[in-house]
């Protein structure tokens, strides 16, 4: 790394974890600003959270992404390296986060948060994008982060990574960067981005692949079991997570959403939960 | 006849929306009981026999004891297998 001329050297903070991102490729700077500018920070990062994008040279004919001097990605395209950087930042931020976080998108309506827990690849980000384009506020397409002190939801407004198919479905034409699999969209290009902590009011379990959109209530036990199952980090404090989610599940309203069209689903949620 | 229960002391129990959730700190497992299992759990206090639990559940759910016996027996066996009951 000593031979790296850093023309880009930026600091970000995601979910309390400081990161440093450096590059010898001038073109990376504006992309990072657009995608991660709202995470800018002055805090110094540990070497384990220092990421470097290096442009091709005589020794390495491809774009490379390193974290803590280990290769994370190699490929022909600069944009692929930036998408890999976004994925790595997200992975590290979630891994380092100490309080309860579950795999869920979070949107806002009327100053209250709606969490939508789902595994990757089940249309969560597409539904979130449609909801934000329909007027909901954006908190996250990835993580439901609950402050154990006040049980409010922390925003984690990372860029949305959408496949070509999803972008076609949503009518989104431009992306900041794209890899072979997906393109990164800045949340504020879709609609409102929420920056305040909010009370959690609803937990909606989305199921894609149905005809008409329907919304049916589910019990608090289901909410509790599913939130714990979808947790990234309840292993760090299992008893604390159990107590926190028991309290949350007893207070929020749980729903099962079936849908085929994410915009129709968003309209139904706005009508029923707004 | 043998009494059912009591429940294991190390379990942390909470009620969520009327149903019981259990956390076992030794295995770090969480079990969320449905409504019927929660009612059966509440009767596993070491004071009732299996037949008494079946009768009480049958009355609560307006069922005949012989209809509900297999379900109650299986649920209590599962509690025992999980180590949630002392006896």
Instruction: Tell me the ipTM for this assembly.
Output: 0.74
Give yes or no for residue A6 having a pLDDT over 80: no
Give yes or no for residue A1 having a pLDDT over 70: no
Which member of A235, A242, A249 has the closest CB to residue B23? A242
Mean model confidence pLDDT for chain A: 94
Domain end marker among A75, A96, A117: A96
Q: Is residue A22 part of a domain?
A: yes
pLDDT band at B45 (very low <50, low <70, confident <90, very high): very high
A133 and A113 in a common domain: yes
Buried (b) or exposed (e) across A96-121, using 16+ Cβ within 10 A? bbebbbbbbbbbbbeebbbbbbbeee
Residue-wise pLDDT for A9-21, tens only, equals 999 999 999 999 9
Which member of A220, A228, A235 has the closest CB to residue B19? A220
Residue-wise pLDDT for A246-257, tens only, equals 999 999 999 999
Distance from CA of B34 to the nearest CA of A (A): 7
**Considering only CB atoms, which chain B residues are within 8 Å of A220?**
16-19
Query: Could you tell me which residues of chain A have a Cβ less than 8 Å from any Cβ in chain B?
Result: 219-225, 228, 235, 238-239, 242-243, 246, 249-250
Whether the CB-CB separation of A221 and A164 falls below 8 Å is answered with no
- Contact of B32 with chain A, judged by CB distance below 8 Å, is answered with yes
Domain encompassing residue A209: 101-273
A80 and A113 in a common domain: no
A115 and A231 in a common domain: yes
Whether the CB-CB separation of A252 and A201 falls below 8 Å is answered with yes
pLDDT, position A3? 57
pLDDT, position A18? 97
A49 and A147 in a common domain: no
Selected residue of B11, B29, B30 to mutate for chain A interface (largest A Cβ count, 10 A): B30
Q: Do β-strands B12-16 and A253-259 pair in parallel, antiparallel, or remain unpaired?
A: unpaired
Q: Please give the average per-residue pLDDT across B24-49, as a whole number.
A: 91
Whether the CB-CB separation of B19 and B38 falls below 8 Å is answered with yes
Question: For a pLDDT cut of 90, what percent of chain A falls above it?
Answer: 86
Distance from CA of A153 to the nearest CA of B (A): 20
State how far the Cα of A119 lies from the Cα of A205, in Å rounded to an integer: 10
- Contact of B21 with chain A, judged by CB distance below 8 Å, is answered with yes
Selected residue of A225, A231, A236, A237 to mutate for chain B interface (largest B Cβ count, 10 A): A225
Q: How far is CA A228 from the centre of its chain?
A: 18
Q: What are the backbone dihedrals phi and psi of residue A111, each rounded to the nearest 5 degrees, phi first?
A: 80, 10
Residue-wise pLDDT for A46-91, tens only, equals 999 999 999 998 888 999 999 988 999 999 999 999 999 999 999 9
| Cα distances (Å, whole numbers) of residue A40 to A7, A76, A184, A190, B68 | 17, 28, 18, 21, 61
Of A137, A177, A144, which is closest to residue A28 (Cα–Cα)?
A177
Q: Is residue A269 part of a domain?
A: yes
Give yes or no for residue A180 having a pLDDT over 90: no
A25 and A12 in a common domain: yes
A242 and A107 in a common domain: yes
A183 and A109 in a common domain: yes
Which member of B19, B30, B33 has the closest CB to residue A228? B30
Q: How far apart are the first and last CA of chain B?
A: 12
A114 and A85 in a common domain: no
A132 and A90 in a common domain: no
Contact B32 A225 (CB under 8 A): yes
Domain end marker among A52, A79, A96: A96
pLDDT band at B25 (very low <50, low <70, confident <90, very high): confident
pLDDT, position A94? 95
A106 and A26 in a common domain: no
**Considering only CB atoms, which chain B residues are within 8 Å of A219?**
17, 19
The alpha carbons of chain A give a radius of gyration, in whole angstroms, of 19
pLDDT, position A181? 84
- Where are the domains positioned within chain B? 12-81
pLDDT, position A235? 86
Q: Is residue A1 part of a domain?
A: no
Number of domains in chain A: 2
Whether the CB-CB separation of A37 and A116 falls below 8 Å is answered with no
Whether the CB-CB separation of A111 and A66 falls below 8 Å is answered with no
Residue-wise pLDDT for A197-234, tens only, equals 999 999 999 999 998 999 999 999 899 999 999 999 98
Residue A120 sits in a domain whose CATH number is 3.40.50
Q: Which residue of A has its CA nearest to B27?
A: A238
A58 and A149 in a common domain: no
Q: What's this model's pTM, rounded to 2 decimal places?
A: 0.88
Domain end marker among A74, A96, A118: A96
A108 and A173 in a common domain: yes
State how far the Cα of A45 lies from the Cα of A1, in Å rounded to an integer: 16
Q: Which residue has the higher pLDDT, B24 or A109?
A: A109
Give yes or no for residue B32 having a pLDDT over 50: yes
Q: Which residue of B has its CA nearest to A237?
A: B28
Distance from CA of B19 to the nearest CA of A (A): 6
**Considering only CB atoms, which chain A residues are within 8 Å of B34?**
221
Question: For a pLDDT cut of 70, what percent of chain A falls above it?
Answer: 99
Q: Which residue of B has its CA nearest to A229?
A: B30
């Amino acid at each position: 790394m000593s031979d790296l001329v850093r023309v880009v050297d930026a600091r970000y903070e995601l979910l309390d974890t400081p990161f440093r991102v450096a590059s010898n490729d001038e073109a990376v700077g504006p992309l990072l600003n657009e995608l991660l500018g709202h995470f800018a920070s002055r805090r110094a990062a540990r070497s384990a959270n220092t990421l470097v994008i290096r442009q091709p040279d005589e020794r390495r004919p491809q774009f490379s992404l390193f974290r803590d001097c280990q290769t994370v990605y190699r490929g022909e395209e600069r944009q692929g390296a930036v998408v890999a950087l976004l994925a790595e930042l997200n992975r590290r931020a979630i891994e380092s986060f100490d309080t309860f976080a579950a795999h869920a998108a979070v949107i806002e309506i009327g100053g209250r948060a709606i969490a939508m827990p789902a595994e990757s690849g089940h249309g969560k980000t597409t539904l979130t994008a449609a909801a934000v384009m329909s007027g909901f506020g954006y908190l996250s397409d990835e993580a439901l982060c609950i402050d154990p002190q006040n049980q409010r939801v922390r925003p984690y407004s990372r860029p949305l990574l959408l496949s070509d198919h999803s972008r076609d479905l949503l009518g989104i034409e431009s992306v900041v960067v794209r890899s072979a699999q997906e393109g990164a969209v800045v949340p504020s290009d879709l609609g409102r981005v929420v920056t305040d902590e909010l009370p959690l009011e609803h937990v909606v379990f989305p199921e894609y692949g149905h005809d008409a959109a329907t919304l049916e209530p589910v019990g608090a036990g289901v909410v509790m079991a599913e939130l714990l199952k979808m947790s990234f980090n309840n292993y760090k404090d299992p008893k604390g997570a159990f107590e926190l989610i028991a309290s949350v599940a007893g207070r929020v309203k749980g729903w099962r959403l079936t849908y085929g069209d994410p915009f129709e689903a968003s309209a139904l949620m706005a009508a029923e939960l707004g | 006849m043998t009494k059912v229960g009591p429940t294991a002391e190390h379990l942390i129990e909470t009620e969520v929306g009327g149903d019981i959730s259990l956390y076992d700190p030794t295995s770090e497992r969480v079990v969320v009981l449905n409504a019927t299992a929660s009612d059966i759990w509440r009767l596993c206090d070491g004071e009732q026999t299996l037949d008494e639990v079946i009768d009480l559940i049958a009355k609560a759910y307006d069922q005949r004891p012989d209809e509900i016996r297999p379900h109650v027996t299986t649920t209590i066996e599962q509690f025992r297998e999980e180590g949630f009951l002392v006896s």
